């Protein structure tokens, strides 16, 4: 019992509780975020890239609890870009990880030199359209790089999407709003607007909250933008994209429920990685005829920093066992205290708020019955004893947070 708690403290040993206050920062020790990226996601990214070319619009689904990341709260003296309201040295703009795409048609610049049979752009005269040259001399590359520099601050955002920004109409759905702190919404919206992201919908796919806003918005955006390769088609093809477990499949099911009065078309689950492959198109609306393509959730190969990874893990985007339930539970406690969300005190029967994970988990185990039977060898024979299970308590603590039982908490 003590050993496990000791391990937790060793893993997350930081400045420790400040007398009369809470930890001011969380020390992640020497944890390496690289091991949290499952390699198979590279395949998902490749599959999505192909689907992206056929899409009329992108719906990016993200978790409303991690909708503003550290760009809103950068370390002192550091900012993400010149638009930031914080002073300091700007971080470099994000670098596109995949081949840049032409902003006027769905063709990859590197894959399709002019004249390209794939390019059906009716507007651009031949050269310089798809003129291939070193990046420094290609005007398209510089445009794309510029667009990708529009950095929308979202923890764990897919880099492919940054690259595609400005090429397709884009809607950002901040899902699970029922779990996020509603007081943060205006700040998040304002910040996203400053970053050039103005089509944002907060949603709750379990109760169909705000889902009705999505189809009219998609119709308006697609109607107002050139469709080039798909001008003759009346069907709208929409790619749904986002990190694992944010509710992409739930969104599709919710739209079908509302507009077609039909049941589930795509599997939903509490673990990341339920959607395994880029699926065929799923109809969600008749007027206009709208089809959504569900995609497997993918994490960016570079998560950035450990704290970003930890937030994603708390929201269920990374498998718990890759990160470790012990440190996740401690980071959750640190966050709840930082956000002054003290519902856990009453739920687990604590006398007062606490910054030490061991007594909190002890109370979780006691109140939620997280115990285990162990056989103890004594001089007079074996004795069966009931012990508190700290790993099970940590798991319960995380489950309670994810179900909203510890309050509505925005992690960023
Ligand atoms: N509280 C709450 N839970 C939601 C909401 N939307 C989805 N969920 C839950 O979140 C979990 C993940 O939902 P999915 O729709 O499978 O997520 P996904 O993004 O398709 O997941 P992957 O297939 O792993 O990429 C499920 O347990 C859903 O019930 C929401 O708006 N609020």
Q: Does residue 348 contact residue 367 with C-beta atoms inside 8 Å?
A: yes
Give the 3-state secondary structure of residue 170: strand
- A 10 A CB-CB count for 353 gives 15
Q: 0.80 exceeded by the pTM? A: no
The number of the ligand 1 atom at minimal distance from the alpha carbon of 268 is 16
Q: Pocket of ligand 1, candidates 245, 293, 319, 406: which has the most ligand atoms within 8 Å of its Cβ, to mutate?
A: 245
| 3-state class (DSSP) for residue 313 | helix
The pLDDT of residue 132: 35
Specify the DSSP class assigned to residue 17: P
Closest ligand 1 atom to Cα of 275: 23
The Cα 286–Cα 172 span in angstroms is: 22
CB 248 within 8 A of CB 61: yes
Residue with CA closest to ligand 1 atom 30: 176
Instruction: Output the six-digit token pair for 274.
Output: 């339920």
pLDDT by residue (tens digit) across 334-356? 999 999 999 999 999 999 999 99
**DSSP at 101:** B
For the sheet with 236-241, list strands across it: 200-202, 170-175, 57-63, 236-241, 290-293, 281-285
Q: Which atom of ligand 1 is nearest to the CA of 246?
A: 19
pLDDT at 166: 61
Protein residues with CB under 6 Å of any ligand 1 atom: 175-176, 178-179, 204-206, 242, 244-250, 268-270, 272-275, 296-297
* pLDDT for residue 409: 94
**Which segments of the chain have a pLDDT < 50?**
1-3, 5-18, 69-153
- Under DSSP, the state recorded for 270 is S
Residues pairing with 108 in the sheet = 101
pLDDT in tens, 253-306: 999 999 998 766 666 666 665 555 555 678 999 988 999 988 888 777 667 788
Tell me how far apart the terminal alpha carbons of the chain are, to the nearest angstrom.
Answer: 32
Separation in Å, CA 229 to CA 52, 99, 117, 232: 13, 20, 12, 8
pLDDT, residue 30, reads 80
Other C-beta atoms closer than 10 Å to the C-beta of 239 total: 24
249 C-alpha to ligand 1 centroid (Å)? 7
């Amino acid at each position: 019992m003590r050993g496990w708690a000791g391990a937790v403290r060793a893993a997350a040993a930081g400045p420790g509780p400040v007398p009369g206050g809470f930890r001011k920062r969380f020390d992640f020790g020497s944890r390496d975020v690289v091991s949290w990226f499952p390699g198979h996601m590279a395949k998902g990214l490749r599959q999505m890239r192909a689907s992206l070319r056929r899409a009329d619009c992108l719906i990016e689904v993200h978790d409303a609890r991690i909708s503003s990341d550290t760009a809103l709260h950068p370390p002192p003296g550091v900012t993400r870009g010149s638009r930031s309201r914080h002073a300091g040295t700007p971080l470099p703009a994000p670098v596109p990880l995949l081949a840049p795409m032409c902003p006027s048609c769905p063709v990859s610049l590197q894959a399709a030199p002019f004249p390209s049979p794939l390019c059906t752009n009716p507007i651009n005269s031949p050269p310089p359209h798809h003129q291939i040259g070193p990046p420094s001399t290609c005007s398209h590359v510089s445009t794309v790089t510029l667009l990708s520099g529009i950095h929308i601050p979202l923890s764990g955002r897919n880099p492919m999407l940054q690259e595609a920004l400005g090429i397709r109409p884009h809607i950002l759905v901040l899902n699970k709003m029922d779990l996020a702190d509603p007081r943060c919404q205006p700040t998040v919206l304002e910040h996203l607007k400053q970053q050039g992201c103005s089509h944002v919908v907060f949603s709750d796919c379990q109760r169909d909250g705000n889902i009705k806003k999505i189809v009219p918005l998609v119709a308006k955006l697609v109607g107002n933008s050139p469709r080039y390769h798909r001008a003759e088609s009346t069907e709208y093809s929409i790619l749904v994209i986002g990190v694992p477990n944010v509710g992409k499949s739930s969104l599709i099911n919710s739209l079908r429920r509302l507009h077609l009065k039909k049941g589930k078309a795509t599997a939903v689950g509490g673990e990341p990685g339920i959607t395994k492959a880029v699926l065929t198109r799923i109809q969600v609306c008749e007027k206009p005829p709208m089809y959504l393509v569900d995609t497997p959730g993918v994490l960016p190969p570079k998560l950035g920093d450990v704290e970003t990874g930890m937030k994603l893990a708390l929201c269920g985007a990374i498998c718990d066992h890759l990160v470790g339930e012990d440190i996740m539970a401690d980071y959750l406690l640190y966050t709840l205290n930082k956000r002054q969300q003290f519902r856990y005190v009453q739920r687990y029967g604590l006398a007062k708020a606490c910054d030490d994970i061991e007594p909190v988990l002890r109370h979780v185990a006691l109140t939620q019955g997280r115990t285990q039977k162990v056989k103890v060898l004594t001089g007079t024979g074996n004795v069966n004893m009931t012990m508190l299970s700290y790993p099970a308590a940590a798991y319960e603590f995380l489950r309670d947070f994810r179900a909203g039982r510890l309050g509505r908490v925005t992690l960023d």
